[in-house]
Homo-oligomer: A and B are copies of this chain.
Amino acid sequence: MAHQDLQLLSHDCGDCPIRHRAVCARCEADELARLEQIKYYRSYQAGQTVVWSGDRMDFVASVVSGIATLTQTMEDGRRQMVGLLLPSDFVGRPGRAQAAYDVTATTDLVMCCFRKKPFEEMMVATPHIAQRLLEMTLDELDAAREWMLLLGRKTAREKIASLLAIIARRDASLKLRAAKGKLAFDLPLTREEMADYLGLTLETVSRQMSALKRDMVIGLEGKRHVMVPDFDKLLEETGDDSDGGFLV
């Protein structure tokens, strides 16, 4: 576990890679200092479960590095992913004692955890945290609604293209590039996880990946590395408005 060292390290918030995007983004130096007192790092290996739905949860956290998923499971085993958590994303709900979803690390994962009680107290005392959390929650709600359109109305091919576009965009933003023209990235999800994200079976995911490859929309190197010769062409396959809605 390469990140194990982080677990004990009292990492300085000033150097934190997600400092400017996480729930603490708006905090002043003194507020950060107080957060430092209630925070601790935890690491998880790819595949590990972070919390089970229904479990008591006495912390909230920010994803520092790696990717986690939120999933719901029905009695008969049908599964639907309902959240994809990337670095800087927030986990947990202030004021709630039990987890509502399964949280799983899909890659090696490092989280910056805050003990819930003191965090909740800080939320009341320091509006900067509550303000930022509201903003992040509203963004998540927008993403969830986009996702609902995908689940309810898009075809399998459109779903796959949409997911690839989302991952490509996020990868580009991480590399501080614009998502356009020719690009390439690694899929952080297995076919089955993609299926759970998209409301499909893994076989359908596989078939549509092959179809997009056959139609030269994407190239594949191994199972995980995706090459996109023309990002606009991929976007055309998503079914979304071409003039990508940029709403402030």
Contacts and interface: CB of A to CB of B under 8 A. Distances in A.
B100 A247 contact: yes
Chain A interface, DSSP helix/strand/loop, else mixed: mixed
A111 to B, nearest CB: 19
A83 interface: yes
Interface string A40-65: 00000000000001100000000000
The residue among A74, A127, A134, A147 with the most chain B CB atoms within 10 A of its own CB is: A134
Contacts of A100: 142, 145, 245, 247
A51 to B, nearest CB: 12
Nearest to A158: B74
A241 interface: yes
Contact of A80 (B93, B99, B148, B242): B148
A72 interface: yes
Contacts of A74: 149, 153, 239-241
A203 interface: no
Interface in A104-148: 124, 127, 130-131, 133-135, 137-138, 140-142, 144-148
A222 interface: no
A146 B153 CA distance: 17
A191 to B, nearest CB: 16
A138 B138 contact: no
Interface string A69-80: 010101110111
A95 interface: yes
A152 interface: yes
Given A74-B153, A75-B241, A153-B74, A93 B138 contact: yes
Interface in A82-103: 82-83, 93, 95-101
Contacts of A198: 152
A141 to B, nearest CB: 5
B148 A147 contact: yes
A163 interface: no
25 contacts: A54-B247, A72-B146, A72-B149, A74-B240, A75-B239, A75-B241, A78-B239, A80-B149, A80-B152, A82-B148, A83-B145, A95-B248, A97-B247, A100-B142, A100-B245, A130-B134, A134-B137, A141-B144, A144-B145, A151-B151, A151-B152, A151-B199, A152-B198, A152-B199, A153-B199
